[in-house]
Amino acid sequence: MEWLEKSEHYEFTDMEYSFLVNLHAKVHGLYRAEKFIEEIPQSMRTTHVYQSLLAGCASMRNVPTTEKVFNKMKDLNFPLTAFACNQLLLLYKRNDKKKITDVLLMMEKENIKPTLFTYKMLIDTKGIVGDFSGMEQLLDTMKEDGIKLDMHLSFLVARHYIKGGHTKKAEKLAKEMEGGDFSDKIQVRKFLLNIYAELGMPDEVERIWKTCGVNPLIKEWIQVIWAWAKLGKEEHVQKLVDEMFKQYKKIPHVCYNSLLRVYVDKKMLGKAKDLVKQMSDEGIHIGPKTIDTFVRLYLVEGDVATADSVLKSWVHKNHKLHKPLYYTYVHLLEAYAKKGDYHNAEKVFYLARQMGYSARMKMYELLLGAYVNAKVPAYGFRDRLRADNIFPRRVLTEQLVAVDPFKKAPVTGLLE
C-alpha cells in the first residue's frame, strides 16, 4: 500500500486511506494510526477514514480511545451512521454492557435504523446472559423491521438455545434452516452438522452428511469429522480421515491445519502427533496457523517448555516470511501465567512486542496474572500501562491492587 501510494500510477481515494489506517492500527498500534491520519491530505480525512480508526479501536477493546474518536467524529460534524454506532455496541458488548442502552437511545434519537449486524450483537448479548425471552423479543422486532433472519444469526441463536438447555427450540430452528431459502447451501450444511453434533444427534449428523453427495467438498469432510469428534465417535473420525486421504491424492495444507485443530481440541493427542509426523514426512508447509496448533498441542499436554521451544525454533527459521499469530503468544502467556512463571511470561510478552503486536488489555491481564499467582510485587506496572495508553478495567484493577509493592499491610497482620 505504501509503494502504491508513492507511485504515480494510482490516485488514492479516502477508501484506500481508510485501508491504510486499518493496517497501521493492526501492525503499529492505535497511536500510530491516529498519527497517520494527521499525515494524509486534509481532503481525504473523511467519514470512511475515521470509521476505520473507530473500528480498529473497538476491535482492540480500547474504550477511552474509541469514545475519543467517536466524539472527534461528532466534533467534525460527520453524519452519525449505523456503522459507527455498531462499533460502540460491539465495544460495550465486550466491556461494559450497561452502556448499550445509551447507544440504542442515541440511535433512536438520531433516527438511525438498526442493521442486521446491530441485531446480531444485541441478540448475542441477550443469549450470553441467558435472557431468552429478551432474545426472542429482539428477533420479533427485527422481523417487524423487515430484516430477514440469515443463516449466521439462525446458527447463533441455535447455539444459545443449546447452551441454555432449550434443545427443542434449537432443533426446531435447525429444521427451519434446512428448509430455508439460503443461497449458500454448503454453509448451511456446515452449520447443521455443528448444531446436530452439539445436540448429540448422531443420526441427524449422518443424514446431513449424506446430503453432501458422492463428492463432498474438502471443507465438508472437515466439518463432519469435527461433528463426529464432538460426539466422541473416534472410530468414525478415523474412518472419515482415511477415506478423505484416499479420495484426494493431494490435500490442501489448510485441511491439515483444520484436522489438526480437531484432534487438539478433542484431546486426541496421539492422532495429532501422528498427523504432525505425516505433515513433516510429506513436506507440508508449516505456516502461522499450523504452528499455533502445534503450540496448543503441547500446552494441552502441560508441556509449556516444549511449546515455547517449538515456537522459538519456528520463528528463527521463518521470521523473514511469516510471524506467529497474536493468539499463539496469548496461549503461551496464559500457560506461564497459570504457573506463576513471571520471568518467562515477561519474555513472551517482550517477543510479542518484537513481532509488532502492540500490547493489549488481554496480554497485560495475563502478564499481571503471572505476578499474582507467583505472589510477588510488580514494580512500575502502572507506568507501563500509561505508556501503552491502556486504561485498566475491573479485572486489571484488582490485579494491580494485589501486586502493588507499596500497599499498606493490614493492621491485623502487624499485630500477629
Q: Write down the mean pLDDT value for the chain.
A: 88
Q: Is the model more confident about 251 or about 375? A: 375
Residue 330's domain spans which residues?
A: 303-416
Render pLDDT for 288-308 as a digit per residue (tens, 0 to 9).
888 898 899 899 889 999 999
* Confidence grade of residue 412 (pLDDT, cut at 50, 70, 90): very low
For the cut 50, the answer to whether the pLDDT of residue 415 exceeds it is no
Which runs of E-coded beta strand occur in 34-113? Answer: none
CB 28 within 8 A of CB 358: yes
* CA 158/CA 166 separation, integer angstroms: 9
For the cut 70, the answer to whether the pLDDT of residue 409 exceeds it is no
Average of pLDDT values for 9-34? 87
**Smallest Cα–Cα separation from 251: which of 285, 288, 223, 274?**
285
Residue 94 domain-assigned (yes or no):
no
Which runs of E-coded beta strand occur in 264-397? Answer: none
pTM of the model: 0.76
Total structural domains within the chain: 1
**Smallest Cα–Cα separation from 91: which of 80, 103, 79?**
103
Residue 17 domain-assigned (yes or no):
no
Residue 196 domain-assigned (yes or no):
no
For the cut 80, the answer to whether the pLDDT of residue 406 exceeds it is no
pLDDT more than 90, % of the chain: 49
Residue 310 domain-assigned (yes or no):
yes
* CA 366/CA 185 separation, integer angstroms: 41
For the cut 60, the answer to whether the pLDDT of residue 400 exceeds it is yes
Residue 341 domain-assigned (yes or no):
yes
Residue 373 domain-assigned (yes or no):
yes
CB 307 within 8 A of CB 332: yes
Amino acid of residue 30: L
CB 113 within 8 A of CB 105: no
What Rg value do the Cα atoms of the chain yield, rounded? 25
* Confidence grade of residue 407 (pLDDT, cut at 50, 70, 90): low
**Most confidently modeled of 259-263, 337-341, 359-363?**
337-341
Render pLDDT for 61-102 as a digit per residue (tens, 0 to 9).
788 889 999 999 999 999 999 999 999 999 999 888 889 999
CB 49 within 8 A of CB 40: yes
* CA 313/CA 305 separation, integer angstroms: 12
For the cut 50, the answer to whether the pLDDT of residue 161 exceeds it is yes
Place of cell 493492621: 411
**Most confidently modeled of 353-362, 376-385, 388-397?**
376-385
* CA 31/CA 387 separation, integer angstroms: 11
What is the reported pLDDT for 305? 94
Residue 195 domain-assigned (yes or no):
no
Render pLDDT for 178-232 as a digit per residue (tens, 0 to 9).
887 766 788 899 999 999 999 999 999 999 999 888 788 888 888 999 999 889 8
Reduced to 3 states (helix: H, G, I; strand: E, B; else coil), residue 322 is coil
Place of cell 502467556: 333
Residue 162 domain-assigned (yes or no):
no
End-to-end C-alpha distance for the chain, whole angstroms: 66
Which runs of E-coded beta strand occur in 253-393? Answer: none
CB 349 within 8 A of CB 335: no
